Amino acid sequence: MKPGYQGRIAALGQAQKLSVQVNWGWAFLLLNLGLIVFLLNYATTTAYLWFFGLLFGFVLQRSRFCFAAAFRDIFLIGNTAITRALVIGLIVGTCGFLFLEILTPGTALLASMGKVKAVGIFTMAGALLFGFGMVIAGGCATGMLMRMGEGYLMQWVAMLGFLVGSSVGAYHLGWWMTAFGSRAQALFIPAIFGWPLAIALQLIVLGAIYLWALGHERGWKTTKASIVKLAQSPRSLVRSPANPHPGPEKQPKSLYQVFFKKPWPYVLGAILLATLNTALFSLWGSPWAITSGITYFSAWVSQGLGLSPESWYYFQNILLLEAREGKSLLADPTAMQFLHSPMVYHFMAIIAGSLLASLAAGEFRLRKWKSGRFVIAALVGGFLMGYGARLALGCNIGAFFSAIPSFSVHGWVFGIFTLLGAYVGGKVLLRFLVV
């Protein structure tokens, strides 16, 4: 058989595979639209959160936007492309949240409804653990959900660890609050400096971080040894943000290639995520959050195993501060219906949105882990993320991507200590996992 003929046969097989996945994608889209219509008649809030979850998951998968890479790659490969995109997303989110504040004069929207949480030692410890865990697990909370939708089995293992860590953290949070939370306060930056100075400071600091990241990348000198190590890394742990989809660059020939096949720029992903976050805030009355829903789901599983999560400190004391549905869950603490929380279905919808995008691009396939070490890393990393998120009262979304635009000191502290955790996690990654 001639080489050219073999190539045509292979290309035909790829086209057929793509066609099958696209057809499945259309069917899955129709299924989700039907579900949303059904939910609008019986559970409007859940319908909103499922719809936005699909959009978040779709944008995350198409742009390959990974918060873990934004923190990790600064130290690991000196690339700050996602870091700079993240800063732009925070600036857009800040402007969007300010716009909502202006539209609701006299309501103190951000101070009362934004992600303004108490900050203390528990925040720092939780962020350190979360940052370390997301690097060795191969993704943050959103990155884990996105890759679950793409078929990465290692991230399903990480989710198992995350569920266990969330349960332990919800139970053990009482010790941290007793030891370190008595004097913790929710610090709202405009309440400290006033609105004009607070806005100026936030935008100046974000701009300075962007310029620093740009200069850091330009001045980075990569050693030959680090290049060799990174070239041998598994895709689920380290992938160069400069070229997330290897292959020859081609001009898009159709709308399909532009929206579904060709990867979106990181900056576009960050802007869309921030815009969706603002829209969700305006419709639901609370910014984007993820891990509270995962914690509710882990509590439901714990109930099935004969445990009593309704007595855990998190559900007795912190739940009222986490989401609008908290009060209804606490109406009868002895009979909590954890699956009644719309947030449970929101994180599931992010997985579904990523799956939808993967099918539309013909990219879905089951991907196994490289070795048993990565299974252990995923379990441990997922556990540390789940436990750390409960200590810090949020993850890379609720405690960072939504908290900083809410002008919360808590968000800045979380970001700083997550960066430190990612630095240590990167060292462990190179030493024990990248071979």
Q: At 435, is the pLDDT very low, low, confident or very high (cuts 50, 70, 90)?
A: low
Q: What is the pLDDT of residue 250?
A: 54
* CA 412 – CA 202 distance, rounded (Å): 10
Q: What is the pLDDT of residue 341?
A: 86
Does a structural domain hold residue 426? yes
CB neighbourhood size of 180 (10 A): 16
In this structure, what DSSP letter does residue 393 have? T
Does a structural domain hold residue 218? yes
pTM equals 0.88
Q: What is the pLDDT of residue 3?
A: 53
pLDDT tens-digit series, residues 26-56 = 999 999 999 999 999 989 999 999 999 999 9
Mean predicted confidence (pLDDT) in 409-433: 93
Q: Is 118 helix (H, G, I), strand (E, B) or coil?
A: strand
Domain residues for the domain of 417 are 65-252+294-342+366-433
Angle at 395 between CA 394 and CA 397, to 5 degrees: 100
Does a structural domain hold residue 57? no
Q: How many domains does the chain have?
A: 1
Does a structural domain hold residue 98? yes
Residues 149/352, Cβ–Cβ less than 8 Å: yes
Which of 292, 315, 285 is closest to 44 using CA atoms?
285
Does a structural domain hold residue 281? no
Mean predicted confidence (pLDDT) in 365-370: 90
Does a structural domain hold residue 102? yes
Q: Which segment of 76-90, 194-208, 227-241 scores lowest on mean pLDDT?
A: 227-241
Does a structural domain hold residue 11? no
Does a structural domain hold residue 174? yes
